[in-house]
Amino acid sequence: MRGEPELAEELLERAEQHASDAGDEHLVAQVLVHRAQVWIRIGDSERAKGALEIARRQFAAFGDDIHGAHCLLGLAGVAYAKKDFEAQIRHGQEALAVANSLGSAMLAVYADNLIGIARQLSGDLDGAADAYRASLQSVRRGGAFDGSVQLINLAIIDVDQGNYAAGRSAIEAVLTNPGVAGTARAAGQAALMLCLAHHRDWIRWDETLGALQAWFEESSYAEVGGARLLAEAADEAARAGERERSNLALAHAAQLWETLGHPQQAAAVRERIERSG
């Protein structure tokens, strides 16, 4: 049975053909961006990158800076999936320059957030926090978002710096909002699991892992930060003597890495489960 991404790809392929037959190259470029998003989701980063580069050139020919900037954000997303954080920062900064020139708060929100993620994952926590705060400022300026993504990301900085009490408090406060986007909620829950492991709160740990697994089964969405934090949470559970809980978390982390198109990372995590006995 075909899944949602496959069905979306089939529909978008038809849409691209119709736009091409109609001679509407601008619409072709827009469809290419949507197809690239599907390819990123299913782990075909190279195909996504090629589509976004083509679309970006087509938008440039039309003088369409807004859609061109969205292509840059998409390229930053491809770099994120490939763990090429230098390229992610570069594309994010290029998109941010366009956002600033056009006065687009919405573009700035996404660009700064992508820059922050790349800096965080490459170890520049202070730079990441600066980028997240800038993104939050754009959220408040634009008024189109509630800032939950940025607040979760800032809380994860606390977690990465070992401030587990502060991180837990901030994440739990954000997660009380039922409108928090699924991706932000999943990242926050993964970070929360690390806090819960340090606090030896296994009842909440079980609840949180169950919620993470349920959302993954529903969405099939995975992201690098969540996989990393989940593996770290599993490590802390193992140090606390909670081997079964640790292995359950590692099994889910392996699923995330597999979905992200990193089979070697997934295999390494599964080997850890086997070695644990």
Contact 234, 247 (CB under 8 A): yes
pLDDT at position 270: 94
pLDDT at position 1: 39
d(CA 209, CA 118): 25
Contact 116, 157 (CB under 8 A): no
Give the orientation angle of helix 202-219 with respect to helix 243-259, to 10 degrees: 20
d(CA 1, CA 203): 36
pLDDT at position 144: 65
Contact 195, 173 (CB under 8 A): no
Contact 40, 223 (CB under 8 A): no
Q: Which CB contacts under 8 angstroms, 24+ apart, belong to 40-43?
A: 40/74, 40/77, 40/78, 40/81, 41/5, 41/220, 41/221, 42/5, 42/6, 42/9, 43/81, 43/259, 43/260, 43/261
The pair of three-digit structure tokens given for residue 35, joined into one six-digit string: 């197809």
Instruction: Please state the pTM of the whole predicted model.
Output: 0.84
pLDDT at position 77: 92
pLDDT at position 81: 82
- Digitized pLDDT (tens) for each residue of the chain, 277 residues in all: 356 777 888 888 899 899 999 999 999 999 999 999 988 877 788 999 999 999 999 999 999 999 999 999 999 999 988 889 999 999 999 999 999 999 999 999 999 999 999 999 899 999 999 999 999 999 988 776 788 999 999 999 999 999 999 999 999 999 998 878 778 888 999 999 999 999 999 999 999 999 999 988 888 777 778 899 999 999 999 999 999 999 999 999 999 988 877 889 999 999 999 988 6
Contact 101, 79 (CB under 8 A): no
Length of the chain: 277
- Three-state SS at 180: coil
Contact 43, 265 (CB under 8 A): no
Distances (CA, A) of 151 to 133, 135, 167, 188, 247: 9, 10, 10, 10, 29
d(CA 239, CA 237): 5
Q: Please enumerate in sequence order all residues whose Cβ is within 8 A of that of 222, keeping only pairs 6 or more positions apart, or say none.
A: 216, 255, 256, 257, 259, 260
The pair of three-digit structure tokens given for residue 143, joined into one six-digit string: 């008024």
